[in-house]
Structures are given as structure tokens and as C-alpha cells.
Amino acid sequence: MKLLVVLAALVALCAGSPTLLIPGDNSHYVEGESRYIWMPDGEGVPHLVDLQEKDDDEVSRESRNGANNQYWLYTRQNPNSFQLLVHNNINSVRNSNYVASRPLKVIVHGWNSNGNSEINPMVTSAFLAVQDCNVIVVDWRALANSAYWTAVNGVPSVGQHLGDFLQWLINNAGGNWNNVHLVGFSLGAHVVGNAGRRVGNRASRITGLDPAGPNWGGNSNALRAADGQYVECIHTDGGLLGIMDPICRANFYPNGGRNPQPGCWISTCSHSRAYEFFAVTIRYNRHVGRQCSNIQQAQNNGCSGSSLNMGNAVLSKRGNGLFGLSTGNSWPF
């Protein structure tokens, strides 16, 4: 079961590491070796996670199959209150504001979050501000709010159910894969990767926002560069809560791609910067990456090659390689 912040200090004392007493401080963490790491919930509050905690079999049986996914539709006609779309219920779509000719944006939250968590209204409102589009927020809280290992193990099926839903939606209500943009944060990045594979890599664009790192190194279910027509990652807490490796076709490393990001003092803040940066790029599209020769150059923010804008909402965006850039320390960065 998840460990709550109010109990984290006691667990930390037992773990014998003084740094664990500071919520959000992951300076103790060594990738592939450490047992404990602080992770943020959907509001950025740190929770101490035991990476060796056993899978929750009861939760797995009830919710790992992804059938509990909910699909919340937002449009310019209903920007603040969602309409529930139900898989295999065409009337739920016909009675909604879904318009097949519009671009379709899909947003997937991470661990210990839900459809109301900060990423969703922030990115949804940004998309609707610049485009007349359909935005579907995927709420997979039944599994996301379980133990971290349980959530990790359930990611493939959550993504596959999402892919099946999108296939059904486009086949029955209309749409075009060239208008589909999948966006996922942390564990959600791996969810959209699995969804992209499920639909035959046809989505025009996939954006992974600091794809989750713990227990994902070498994991065959992780987001991949070929999961869509164009797959982009924005790395902000590489080597801690996020993956540093360039797993996408285009990989952006703002401020070196690592903790601390400007204005952040703890890793959990740096992790969440990924969706904050992305929301800004949708609205303003002015953060320009410069291509790097290698990962070390990206980490040192010393890149000076060709230009490619980070993030944004452009469906036809294409690019390949590693890109570095600098940002400010507060909105709009």
C-alpha cells in the first residue's frame, strides 16, 4: 500500500538515511540500487515509495486490466466540465461535443493522480486556448493510486485499453489518426507508448513528459521512439524520477534535463516541471532547442546544432535527435 507523507519520516528513520527525512529530497537515490525514492502525487506533494514493495494482488485482480479507465471529453463548448465517453456506447459520443474533424488530444496522468490532478486542467486549457480541438483526459485512478509496483505492472494493459478505445472511437464516431496527439506524464508516458503500439503506431504525435524512471530501465513496456509517427520526450528529472536515456525520436533536455530545474529545490518539483514546460510551449511556442552531439553535451546544456522547438501543439511536427535549451525559473519560464 502507498506510504503517506505523514508516515514517511518514520519509514525514513528505519531506512537509516538522513536525507529521506526531507520530503522530496532524492539526493540519496542511486538508480538501480536504492530502495526508497520520493515521488509526487498529482498535486506535487512528495510521498516516500518503497521500490521493493510487493505487488498488490487484490488491486491487480480488480483493476489491472484497464477496464476501469474513464475518458473525459473537454472542448471549447465545455472547457471546465467533462462529458464522459464510454467505450462501446456510441450514444455517449453522439450526445457529447465530440467533433470528428477536430484534432484529438489525449492526456494521461501519472502515479498517485487522477483526472483532476494538476497536469490535466493545465494542459487541457492550453490546448483549448490555441486550437478548436477535442481533449480527452484519461482517468486511471483505480490503478494509479495503488502501490507503485502495482501501477507499473498495470501500465501495459491501461495503455492497451486506451488504444482499443481510440480505435473504436475513430472507427465509429469518425476521426483521423493524423490528427491524434497522445500526451503522458511520468507513468502516463509509458501508458501512451503502449496505446500507440496498440493502434499500430498510427498516432501522428506522442509526447512523453519526463517518462517515469524507477523500474523502467530496460523495461520492454516503456515508451519507444517508434510508438507513433513522431515521438518526443521532455526530460526534466533524468536519473531520478525520470529516464535520462534518449528513448524518444526527439529528446529535449531543458536545463540539462536533470534536478534541480530552475526555481526547484527538490526532485519532485523538477519532475513536475515537464508538464509545466509543455503547457507553456503549447500557449507560446517559443522554447527553442539546439541539437546536441551526445547525451553529455545535453546534460551540460552546451548544444549549438540545428534548432527544433520544444513541445507545442503542432501535429505535423517532426524531428530527430537530442536537444538542449535553457528556461526561466517561473511561469512562463
> What structural domains does the chain harbor?
68-325 (3.40.50.1820)
Rounded CA gap, 323 and 182, in Å? Answer: 21
87/2 Cα distance (integer angstroms): 30
d(CA 171, CA 135): 18
**Using N-to-C axis directions, what is the helix angle for 119-130 and 267-284, rounded to 10°?**
10
Using an 8 Å Cβ cutoff, are 72 and 139 in contact? yes
Predicted structure pTM score: 0.92
List the catalytic residues: 186, 210, 271
Reading the block at residue 4, the C-alpha cell is 503517506
pLDDT digits (tens, 9 = 90+) for 180-190: 999 999 999 99
d(CA 118, CA 228): 26
DSSP secondary structure string for all residues of 288-302: EEEEESSHHHHHTT-
Residue pointed to by grid coordinates 523495461: 219
Count how many residues are written for the chain: 333
Whole-angstrom distance, CA of residue 29 vs CA of residue 239: 9
Strands, E assignment, 186-312:
205-209, 231-234, 250-254, 288-292, 307-309
**Per-residue confidence (pLDDT) for residue 54, from 0 to 100:** 77
| 269 three-state secondary structure | helix
**What pLDDT was estimated at residue 210?**
98
* C-alpha to C-alpha distance for 321 and 209, rounded to whole angstroms: 16
pLDDT at 65 over 80: no
SS3 176: coil
The mean-pLDDT minimum among 41-45, 97-101, 106-110, 230-234 falls in 41-45
| End-to-end CA, the chain | 36
| pLDDT for position 55 | 72
- In percent, how much of the chain has pLDDT > 90? 84
- Asked whether the CA dihedral 313, 317, 320, 323 is positive or negative, the reply is negative
Residue 214 clears pLDDT 90, i.e. is over it: yes
pLDDT above 90 for 4: no
Residue 103 has pLDDT above 50, yes or no: yes
pLDDT given for residue 59 in this prediction: 53
Compute φ and ψ for 81, nearest 5 degrees.
Answer: -130, 125
Q: Among 47, 252, 293, 234, which Cα is nearest to 148's?
A: 47
